[in-house]
Structure 1
């Protein structure tokens, strides 16, 4: 149902429950036939209290009079006895039918004598004395009923509109008929629903109104049931068919929900970014540990080599020093920082050894008389 429907119909401006007055034999049709507003009656009041078929008695009188009047002129001696017989049959039939009461299916019938209630009949053919009248017929079906409130304030002072569909049945026809009429009960039920709805809305926030819980509906049903119980009415179920806060609140609520969704998305992105950083840091830590393990293994192997081949290690060290010294000697601008005096001596000794080795190699390569003599 649209918001326009809620705002255009003032509370309690239309009746949904009605009763009609028809002959008893037309009661079944009356309970299934809607009026011009689409309402089905919940109570039928028979037009005639007496159930004797007066039309059959009238036919009997007419036939009897015709037999008396027409018998002599026509010398029809048999006409009077025949008319009397037919009149008796019609009278007996009219009176006999008054003992049989037909209660439509799904309806209860209330019996009274002299305006005093006697008992309630169920559906079907019932044997009832002619002096006992069927005063009312009351439906047993489940009856739907709409109730609505507009611009009711919530606990946080937001005005909302709400509509419910209530279903009830008349459990005790005697209490209903002799305590209230259908039109009056319509107004009583409307007032009870409006008061209960406003009380419920006032006790809830607008967020709770949008998401009504089942216990809230049960409390609403219990409140309305307590109001209508004195009239013999039983409330079966309540369904919220419409609940709408103002459009401004809906837009702000949607904006808040969108902001919450965006915040959750941002938090998820931040979490993923932090997780990536943690993964990168963990990979770096694993790499450092791996490099440290590799370096430790290399140093361990080097230590084993130094322990197994100390002379070779010393030779490699001295060769490295000589290479450094050669590189410094070729650079006239290089400045050498010397730590101990022994380092200077070792450097000079190494230099002389290298020079002697180069000189010997150079002399050995020339064709001198001594070399020639040795060769011969």
Structure 2
């Protein structure tokens, strides 16, 4: 008679254990698949779910957005320049069933596909276009990856080309080119400023021809002194001392000629 209560207790415990074992809670942001005896049975959504203990196996995957870092890769551009590209992928699982059965390893397959697509896309672009089109490359990759990744039950949300590293020799060459371009812009700006100054002076002289001769003499003398100063800084230059009177006469003749020509060019008819 003592056996029956024991059996009841054992049965009750078994039932409780079965119920507890059949409960499967899936957290928000995750989904699971149920395999019964190795075969796909169904998909579990977030919340309280029930499975068959000992027969069902539950595999849980995150359906939240995930990041996948692509290690720096050597890529050859259309103009045969080897660069190093570093990218990061933002992706998520849309269908846990496909993600588990379509490919053996989703992350590994996704990384391989992205690398192949990056190599192909940059291979159609020259270096200049590649550097200036990082966002464009990312958008193109997202579009190109949509179809193949849909078969895996995943979605690539963003591909960011974080960094493009150039070879040291090429980097130095580009730095020199940028410096030269900056110098050319400075020279153009200086020239534009000089032209503007000349236009202002010409306008002033046109309105006051009585002082035109003296102003032009002063400007030419100033230019002469500045030019000789620059020549004097050269290692190969020679210093020639001249008597102030002789210097004044020598420069004076040149100035008189220049003044006459400048006034004539301005439409002046007076004699200097």
**TM-score, normalized by the shorter chain, greater than 0.5:** yes
Paired with 2:11 and 2:170, the residues of 1 have a C-alpha distance of 80
Note if contact 2:205-2:211 (Cα within 8 Å) is conserved in structure 1.
Answer: no
Partner of 1:179: 102
1:110 corresponds in structure 2 to 33
Would the aligned equivalents of 1:110 and 1:135 in 2 still touch at CA under 8 Å?
A: yes
Q: Deviation digits for residues 211-256 of structure 1, max 9, x if unmatched?
A: 2253332111222333322111111111122211111111111111
Which residue of structure 2 aligns with residue 243 of structure 1?
Answer: 164
Residue pairs, 1:111-130, within 5 angstroms: 111-130=34-53
- The Cα shift of 1:171 comes to 0.7
| 8 Å contact from structure 1 (residues 156, 206) kept in 2 | yes
Aligned-residue offset at 1:81:
5.4
Residue 154 (structure 1) aligns with: 77
Identify if the C-alpha distance between structure 1 residues 213 and 243 changes in structure 2 by more than 3 Å, giving closer, same or farther: closer
What is the match of residue 33 of structure 1?
none
Q: Which residue of 1 aligns with 2:11?
A: 88
Q: 1:232 aligns with which of 153, 163, 167?
A: 153
Aligned to 2:197: 276
TM-score by length of 1: 0.51
Could you report, residue by residue, the CA deviation over 1:154-182 in whole angstroms, capped at 9, with x for unpaired residues? 12221100010001111111112122222
| Structure with more of its chain in strand, by fraction | 2
SS in 1 for 2:173: helix
- Pick from 127, 135, 150 the counterpart of residue 206 of structure 1: 127
Alignment of 1:248-263 (within 5 A): 248-263=169-184
Q: Distance in 2 between matches of 1:128 and 1:186?
A: 28
Partner of 2:229: none
Compare 260-269 and 109-118 and name the one that shifted more. Answer: 109-118
Q: 1:116 to 1:151 in 2, by over 3 A?
A: closer
1:99 pairs, out of 7, 19, 22, with 22
Aligned to 2:93: 170
Matches within 5 A, 1:56-71: none
Please, which moves more after superposition, 157-166 or 217-226? 217-226
RMSD (CA atoms)? 2.5
Alpha-carbon spacing, 1:151–1:114, altered in 2? closer, same or farther (3 Å): closer
Equivalent pair of 1:149/1:197 in contact (CA under 8 Å)? no
SS of residue matched to 1:109:
strand
CA deviations over 1:165-201 (Å, ceiling 9, x no partner): 001111111112122222xx34322321221111222
Tell me the SS of whatever aligns to 2:89: strand
What TM-score does the superposition give when structure 2 sets the normalisation length? 0.69
- CA–CA distance in 2 between the matches of 1:116 and 1:248? 58
Name structure 2 gaps, 5 residues minimum: 213-272
Residue correspondence of structure 1 range 344-359 to structure 2 within 5 A: none
2:57 paired with 1:134: yes
Per the alignment, do residues 95 and 190 of structure 1 end up closer, same or farther by CA in structure 2, a change over 3 Å counting? closer
**Equivalent position of 1:196 in the other structure:** 117
Correspondence 1:276-355 to 2 at 5 A: 276-288=197-209
Secondary structure at the aligned position of 2:79 is classed as coil
Is the radius of gyration larger for structure 1 or structure 2?
1
Q: Counterpart of 1:231 in 2: which secondary structure?
A: coil
Superposed structure 1 runs of 4+ greater than 6 Å apart:
none
- Change in 2 beyond 3 A, CA 1:154/1:171: same
Residues 327-349 of structure 1: per-residue CA shift (max 9 Å, x gap): xxxxxxxxxxxxxxxxxxxxxxx
Structure-1 residue corresponding to 2:186 = 265
| Unmatched tracts of structure 1, length 5 or more | 1-76, 292-376
Equivalents in 1 of 2:23, 2:147: separation in Å? 39
Q: Secondary structure at the match of 2:151?
A: helix
SS of 2:24's equivalent?
Answer: strand
CA contact (8 A) 2:25 2:49 kept: yes
Q: How far apart, CA to CA, are the structure 1 residues paired with 2:41 and 2:108? A: 29
